[in-house]
Structure formats: structure tokens, C-alpha cells
Amino acid sequence: MLCFHQLQSMAPLTFLPFLLLSLLLSLSHFPTPSLSDTGSVGINYGRVADNLPQPSKVVQLLKTQGMNRVKLYDTDSTVLTALSGSDIRVTVALPNEQLSSAAAAQSYTDSWVQSNIAAFYPSTQIEAVAVGNEVFADPKNTTVYLVPAMQNVYNSLVRYNLSSIKVSSPIALSALQASYPSSAGSFKSDLIEPVIKPMLSFLQKTGSPLMANVYPFFAYTGNTDVISLDYALFNANQSEAQVDSGNGLRYNSLFEAQIDAVFAAMNALQYNGVKLEVTETGWPSKGDENEAGASAANAAAYNGNLVRRVLTGGGTPLRPNEPLNVFLFALFNEDQKPGPTSERNYGLFYPDEGKVYDIPLTVEGLSNSSSESTPVNGSKTQVPTPAAGGGGDVSAAATAGQTWCVANGKAGVEQLQKGLDYACGEGGADCRPIQKDATCYDPNTVEAHASYAFNSYYQMKSRGPGTCDFGGAAYVVTQPPSTYFSISPPSYF
């Protein structure tokens, strides 16, 4: 039998005959990981368009897709009424242009809460209020009003016995002064004392999360010379993963690195206990010529991989025990949004409710994903198939089915050993070559042995969905892993 590092010249299907005996001995499937600590996936329902379906039809679309969280950019009464009795949790917004009024008078927020929250709650399950949006980037300079407006909105909610509704404000990553490496994350110095510290103090006292809008697409399209597309799409193999020079943590996706930069910025100010919710993230299905990576295939890969990453549990390398909660951007393509072509093409659906591309959005959808879908690495998912007219951009190796399963080093020795024991035991993988004095014993590390065993099991199972997971201890790669243990990750963000 070939050692793991020799598999580069052998397509996975030709490897199967070596494993027929193990296949016959296999008695069970690897158990599905617990979903008790998984995150949630919601979606942004923007309406900057003149061709969208009626809110009542939108609610039916959300329910059909199994979506139970939605974020709005206002408190439109028609939308909130349509959501009544739907069991869909709703985040509403107080727009930037109302911040100065909300900050100036408690009576203003009392009236606003009474008319826009209390009038619909609890039939409409409003769970949070986003006070403003990316206020620090607002050209109208509304930053000074933010925290007073948040405090007044909260006080008004308390007045109407609605204190269970969280109050926060989405920030853009431009609020960070440093983001690379993630451990060096810090907020802009001119924002810290006037607004960041007061806001984080408010969030800590009220038990609300910091809201953040996180877009790996922006970082990638502006830095294609140093950021790998696979890294941005959750497709990075081990050689493309990034090791944080400050703390040694390994990152397999730009998304996680960006989130941990925000966590590091909060930690630096001693607000370690404030949680984070990603209120916007997505990838455009179309863009201008200078918007590298904007395509239906890449949008499907990013959002599909992200959904699986969130719904299969776990947090980021810096906060591994905090589940990720995200809102995809966006539900529809919005034809009246200004700016580059990408701005009008973030939707998962066209206005006629047809899918721009097909990805699973729920745990049930993930488990029902076609076994014929092309596997990708990083997030242990399947490359979703773009709808007709979508772009390409899927790696040739993945398209050809040449994939391998390797150990996820950041899972830790204990988790790797647990997966290794299963693969070589109940899993029925042929692990004789990694026994002492056997041909593939060296390198003698848990990670190397686990990679051999995981790949043996994965190929034996015909590379089926879920056969390269091992509770998060493994992932699929689409490039030959011959240098898996010798290549140092590049140092770019």
C-alpha cells in the first residue's frame, strides 16, 4: 500500500482496490457530530429594488427554504405584519438618519419603540434592534450620536417591558486599525475613547452581541496578489492555511481570520466577554471587470461552505467554543442599489423567486445534499452547483474528482487521536502501513498517522458526503498532498 505522501500520482478511484478488504470489514459509519453547539444562519431582506415580490410571498419563500431568522434595514409595517405568526425571528433597524433624533430625546425613542416594536411584538418575533448601520463609515458623521441613541432605545424597550430584545449596531471592518495578523487586531485609535469603549461597555452590561459586517470578498478582490481565492472561499488546503505569527493559531479561511481580528480588538480593550454576531456576509454572483472573483460559482462556493461551517458547529480558532451566528447578504438581487455591479448581485434569489444558485441553508438541507456534488475542502462541504448561466472557477482537481482527506491540525491531538482510533477500528480503514516499523510509520506524528487513516477511510467510502469530517478533525483537499507536512503557510492575510 502507498504511503499518504505518495498518493499524489494516483487518482482516488485507482486507490480503491487496495482497500477492498477494509471495505468488507467495515461495520459502521462514523457518527454524525453533535449539533448542540452549532450556530445559526439568517438572511438579510433588503428592498432597494422596484421588482420584488410582496412581503407575504417573501415570508412564504423564507419558510419554504427553512429560514427562521431575518434581518431588516427598517421597521416597515407591511413587512412586520407579514412576518406576524411566522415563527421567524426578526432583527429590525433604526436607520442612520434617525440617530441624531434618537440620541437627543428619550421621548423620541419612546414613540419609536411604541410604534415600531411594541405594536407588532410578540406576534412578530422581534429579537434585536440594529441602531444604525456601519455608522463609523457614514459620510454624514453620525458617530457621535450612536451610543446615546443605543442607550435611549434600550431604555425605551425597558419602559415597555421589552428588555429581552437586544440592542446593538453593525460595524464595518474598516473600524479596525489593524487586522493582520488576527492577534494584532485593534480598533482605530480615534474611535476607541469616544465610541468603541462606551459601546462595548453598553453591550457588556445589556448582554447584547457586537454586530459586524464581514466580507472576505472585499479583502480578496482588493488583494488578489497576496490572498488566495481558495482561502477566501473556505477552500484552502493545508499548505494555504495561515498561521498567526502572534499566537500560533492556524486559519483555514479568511472569514475566521477577520472575525478573530475583531475579537482580538475587543480583547485588547478588556471586553473579552462580549460576543459577536455577523450581521452581513456574502459574495456577489456578478461584478464589473475589476471585481475579481465575482461569479455565481464563487458565490455558491462561499455561501455554501459558510453555511456548512456554521451549522456543523464550533467557533473560530480564538474562540472555538462560541458558535458562529451569521446573516447572509442577501435574500434578493436589488436592482436599484447604487455602486458597482456587484452591489446589485448579492442575492441568493432573483426577484421572481428563482434561485441564482442552489445551496443548502439548513441542517436538513446539508444532510440531503447530493452525494454527486463535487467535494471541496476546508469546510467539509460540497461545491454547490450554480444555476444556469453561472460562472466556473471550480478547481480542475475537484471537478475531476481528485480529492484527498487530511487531518485538521488545529483540531488538537485529542480529537485527532479519537478520529484515528475510529478510522482504524470501527471504521475499517487499513492502518497496517502506519504501525511501528511499517512502510508509512514515518513521520511518526498523530497528525501524519491521522491523515493516512482518514484518507484511507475516505477513499474506502468512495469519498461520500460526511466521510471526511471526524468531528471536525479532517477536511478535503483538491491538490495532491505530497508536500502536506513540509510546506510552510504563506505569511499574507
Query: To 10 degrees, the CA torsion angle through 188, 191, 195, 201?
Result: 40
Whether 134 is catalytic? yes
Task: Check if the beta carbon of residue 117 is closer than 8 Å to that of residue 161.
Answer: no
Catalytic position from the list 134, 240, 277, 291 = 134
Distance of CA 378 to the CA centre of its chain: 12
Strand-pairing partners, residue 383, are 374
Q: How far apart are CA 198 and CA 135, in angstroms?
A: 15
Q: How far apart are CA 134 and CA 152, in angstroms?
A: 19
Whether 289 is catalytic? no
Share of the chain residues as helix, strand and coil, in percent rounded to the nearest 5: 40, 15, 45
Residue 386: all three cell numbers together: 450554480
Buried b vs exposed e over 425-454: b needs ≥16 C-beta within 10 Å?
Answer: eebbbbbebbeeeeebeeeeebbbbbbbbb
Q: Which residue, among 390, 393, 375, has the nearest Cα to 468 in the 3D structure?
A: 375
Residue 74: all three cell numbers together: 427598517
- Maximum pairwise Cα distance, the chain: 79
Catalytic position from the list 256, 277, 280, 291 = 280
Return the active site residues. Answer: 134, 280
